[in-house]
Amino acid sequence: MSELFKYTASEWSAIQLSLYVALICAVITLPLAIVVGWFLARKKFFGKSVLEGIIHLPLVLPPITTGYLLLLVFGNRGVIGKFFYETFGIQIAFSFYAAVIAAIFVSFPLVTRSIRLSIELVDQKLEEAARTLGASNLRVFFTITLPLALPGVISGFILSFARSLGEFGATISFAGNIEGKTQTLPLAIFSEMQVPGQEASTMRLVVVSVILSLLAMIAAEFLNKRVIKSKTA
Amino acid sequence: MTPALSFHIKLQRKDFTLDVKADIPNWITGIFGPSGHGKTSLLNSIAGIVTPDSGYIHLNGDILLDTNKKKNVKIRQRRVGYVFQDERLFPHYTIRKNLLYGEKNPDPELFNEVVDTLQIAHLLNKKPEQCSGGEKQRAAIGRAIISGSKILLMDEPFSALDVNLRREIIPYLNRVHQKFSLPILIVSHDLPDLLSLTDNLLLLKNGQLLGHGKFTDLLDRPENLELMHESGWYNVMHLSVFAHLESKNMVLLKSNKSNLQIQALTQTIGKDVAINQALKVLIKPESIALSKEPVQNISLRNQVEGTMKDVLLKDGLAFCIVDIGENIIVEVTEVSQKSMCLEKGQRVYCLFKSASLKIY
């Protein structure tokens, strides 16, 4: 029983790396998703449906396909990967960056969807009223739209964090499964499952995985309720 | 008098065309017409929310829109205060923050004056949802004034309020107009509400201007008469308090421009109303009776002599326009009009009860 609480250095490393990747992913994804979510919620433009389709593609694509496509673009011979490798000597594929990029691509549609929906729920008449009071579009966004869409933004942030924690398919094909470098929690669980007699280690990682995901969901719910309460107080 | 606002707005929307040209003085002007006939589109065009296909809008000499000169000032630069039907206070801000949204550092004197005039000091730290409908409307008016508006546009400000709250808000609007000398353009499909505020009307139907002017002056066209009669109307008299007849529980009201004087119940006006206080006195045309001679031994406290200016017949009714120092409408049946031989130019007496008066 005590084996369930004895975490090895490589297990700690996987847990820390997972949290690190998830946090960086959520921080990068959020502002991008806010901008794209606002455009999709408020603007009508030619090709909007196509753009929506592309953004939501990672939701329905097999994760391994997403990983492969990322490898094509960000690999050392890919359009972007080649540029980074030749200009800065940075190899993106099979690195920590790749784990973060894979998490961003997979969680982006979920976050964008959450933020877009909450922005759509903000009464545009309030934005109109703010403009008649002399507010610029940017001020309207930061003082009216964003605060009123805050529950969706917070949900989006935590959703991005939680989705990154669980990311597997795209990460293993694009970032690899390198211990201490790209081996996140799900990858570590997968690795342990492949080795006979590692049930205790697998269980330790599974427990952490479940607890982290649960905490993220509880935090999302708690923050959401607090925001709603503070708005109506 | 130089108009505060001049506009000619042409706007085409599917099957609907708005084409209105008018010069609005620095008064309270009521825009009246049936629902869906272009009133809100007109306000939205002036505010810049909607861009007309062609035309111009000038406010205090400044060009807000001129399609010939390809000039269209942005909404946020127009300084047009818009009070919406649904107040549109920002729900996540307190009333104080709402008031300061358009102008973070207003003149403290102006801020205090607005707060005092609209009596919203006790609301400053409350959120909008903690306020009543009337309080929210007052806060929305305050917000528009503090933001430095040069004109106040109000879209159906009474429609969301019950009768008591309507009565509550009307005196505030009069005070705002007097204190801040702001022209007010107020849209309503409820004529009695508008007339309790102003008798300067702009009539809209099917997106076209039917008439613009004083209420009684607009009655000479049958289509205006029809439009206004359908929605219920009032006569509006501008009078001042002349004396409190305390032993009779009455107040004597007089016109500053003519010899018109009437008696009203003290309880309708209030005991504390000062001598010379200007008031708007409203009475329904059907609440007035006509006589060709003064009537003795009658309970009615008001018998006002006047001259018949016109008689308009419609659906068995006769609308008599009588000059009693101000033009008023008296509604009688066509049968009565014929049997009394009521005609233009005759001297008549308008009889009405003190209790039938509404006073603001």
Say which CATH number the domain at B109 has.
3.40.50.300
Per-chain mean pLDDT for chain A = 90
Report pLDDT for B133.
85
Chain A residues closer than 8 Å to B80 by CB: 132
The residue of B51, B73, B75 whose CB has the most chain A CBs within 10 angstroms, and thus the best one to mutate to test that interface, is B75
Single out the residue in B230, B258, B293 at which a domain terminates: B230
What average pLDDT does range A7-23 have in this prediction?
90
B216 and B242 in a single domain? The answer is: no
What average pLDDT does range A4-10 have in this prediction?
81
* Structure tokens that stand for B278 in this block: 């200007």
Report pLDDT for B163.
63
Report pLDDT for B69.
92
Query: Is the pLDDT assigned to residue A1 strictly greater than 60?
Result: no
The residue of B93, B101, B145 whose CB has the most chain A CBs within 10 angstroms, and thus the best one to mutate to test that interface, is B101
How large a percentage of chain B has pLDDT more than 70?
97
B239 and B226 in a single domain? The answer is: no
Which residues of chain B fall below pLDDT 70?
1, 160, 162-165, 167-168
**Interchain CB distance below 8 Å, A125 and B101:** no
Residue with the larger pLDDT of the pair A140 and B314: A140
Single out the residue in B164, B198, B230 at which a domain terminates: B230
How large a percentage of chain A has pLDDT more than 90?
65
Report the alpha-carbon distance of residue B44 to residue B155 in Å, rounded: 9
Helices (H), B53-104: 95-99
B251 and B128 in a single domain? The answer is: no
Q: Which of B86, B127, B147 sits opposite A133 (nearest CB)?
A: B147
Q: What does pTM read for this prediction?
A: 0.78
B265 and B146 in a single domain? The answer is: no
B149 and B176 in a single domain? The answer is: yes
**Interchain CB distance below 8 Å, A134 and B91:** no
Report pLDDT for B71.
93
**Interchain CB distance below 8 Å, B76 and A143:** no
Crossing angle for the helix pair A96-120 and A63-74, to the nearest 10 degrees: 120
B306 and B284 in a single domain? The answer is: yes
Chain B residues closer than 8 Å to A130 by CB: 90, 101
Report pLDDT for B196.
76
Report pLDDT for A2.
64
**Interchain CB distance below 8 Å, A125 and B75:** no
B105 and B156 in a single domain? The answer is: yes
CATH classification at residue B291 = 2.40.50.100
Q: Does domain A8-231 have CATH number 3.40.50.150?
A: no
Chain A residues closer than 8 Å to B84 by CB: 125, 129
**Interchain CB distance below 8 Å, A134 and B144:** no
Q: What is the residue type of A153?
A: V
B10 and B146 in a single domain? The answer is: yes
Burial class (CB in 10 A: 0-12, 13-18, 19+), B29: buried
B143 and B242 in a single domain? The answer is: no
In chain B, how many domains are there?
2
Q: Which of B76, B90, B129 sits opposite A126 (nearest CB)?
A: B90
**Interchain CB distance below 8 Å, A132 and B81:** yes
Residue with the larger pLDDT of the pair B329 and A228: B329
What average pLDDT does range A110-122 have in this prediction?
92
Per-chain mean pLDDT for chain B = 88
B128 and B76 in a single domain? The answer is: yes
ipTM surpassing 0.90, yes or no? Answer: no
Chain A residues closer than 8 Å to B49 by CB: 128, 131-132
Residue B225: give the domain boundaries: 5-230
Report pLDDT for B335.
93
What average pLDDT does range A16-45 have in this prediction?
94
B153 and B191 in a single domain? The answer is: yes
What are the residue boundaries of the structural domains of chain A, listed by start? 8-231
DSSP state of B228: H
Comparing alpha-carbon positions, the chain A residue that sits nearest to B145 is A133
B11 and B38 in a single domain? The answer is: yes
